[in-house]
């Protein structure tokens, strides 16, 4: 997703006066299991994912994006952010982010969430609602549209994969990239063209199907 955002920034600069300034937040480090499925190399193993990718993008594109080795909420909050993009693995992470949005004073205008399982995934863009804002005409967030994604009764799957082969047994090689590419296409429509015709989609690599998530009728 992050490498695609760099491409999106390049495109926006070419066709408009807009650009992206991204703060990357991740408390994970690169392991051998990440090689192949994610844009890391063997020399990156043991380093911060956020810092490694951000430094690489800044050098390649002449940008000054920022990296935080940590979690949201935690060392960095969500106040003052225009758009929040989450690519999290667990229900507890979504719950924590949703709770932070609920108490924020200056919450993001948009929240795009991406998630996937072994061979399928989904992405959805929504508009968070502050406790004092009763606006009806907005896009539901991922927690409002699919509350089961933050079901407290579901145990988080935190079992690490120790090798590339084991990681591929647990998750298809390209599922992350496919979901990210579709999400980036939606962001391009929103930021470059000013409109979208769907709120997201369900994607299934096993069947080859892509089912759009329609916009609410009152949006």
Split at pLDDT 50, 70, 90, the class of 163 is low
pTM of the model: 0.88
Q: List the domains of the chain with CATH numbers.
A: 2-151+159-213 (3.40.50.720)
Give the torsion sign (CA, 98, 102, 104, 105).
positive
159: CB partners within 8 A, 6+ apart:
none
pLDDT of residue 27: 92
Quick check: 164 pLDDT over 60?
A: no
Residues in the chain: 219
Quick check: 171 pLDDT over 90?
A: no
pLDDT in tens, 174-202: 899 999 999 999 999 999 999 999 999 99
Other C-beta atoms lying within 10 Å of the C-beta of residue 136: 8
Query: In terms of DSSP H, where are the helices of 36-174?
Result: 49-61, 91-103, 142-145, 164-170
Work out the average pLDDT over 104-108.
80
> How many Å apart are CA 90 and CA 92, to the nearest integer?
5
What Cα–Cα distance (Å) separates residue 68 from each residue in 4, 24, 48, 52, 177? 19, 6, 9, 11, 23
Lowest mean pLDDT, pick from 18-32, 37-51, 117-131:
117-131
Split at pLDDT 50, 70, 90, the class of 169 is low
pLDDT in tens, 80-101: 889 999 998 788 888 888 888 8
Between 3 and 80, residue with greater pLDDT:
3
Structure tokens at 113: 């969430």
């Amino acid at each position: 997703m992050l490498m695609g955002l760099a491409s999106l920034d390049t495109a926006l600069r070419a066709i408009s006066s807009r650009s992206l300034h991204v703060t990357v937040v991740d408390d994970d480090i690169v392991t051998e299991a990440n090689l192949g499925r994610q844009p890391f190399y063997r020399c990156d193993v043991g380093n911060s994912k956020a810092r490694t990718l951000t430094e690489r993008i800044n050098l390649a594109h002449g940008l000054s994006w920022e990296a935080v080795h940590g979690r949201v909420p935690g060392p960095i909050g969500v106040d003052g952010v225009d758009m929040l993009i989450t690519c999290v693995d667990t229900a507890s992470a979504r719950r924590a982010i949703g709770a932070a949005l609920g108490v924020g004073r200056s919450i993001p205008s948009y929240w795009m969430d991406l998630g996937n399982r072994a061979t399928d995934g989904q992405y959805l863009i929504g508009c968070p609602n502050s406790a004092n804002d009763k606006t009806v005409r907005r896009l539901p967030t991922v927690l409002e549209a699919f509350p089961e994604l933050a079901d407290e009764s579901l145990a988080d799957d935190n079992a690490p994969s120790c090798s590339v082969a084991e990681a591929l047994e647990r998750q298809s090689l390209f599922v992350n990239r496919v979901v990210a590419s579709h999400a980036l296409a939606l962001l391009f429509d929103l930021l470059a063209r000013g409109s979208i015709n769907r709120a997201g989609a369900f994607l299934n690599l096993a069947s080859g199907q892509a089912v759009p998530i329609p916009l609410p009728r009152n949006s």
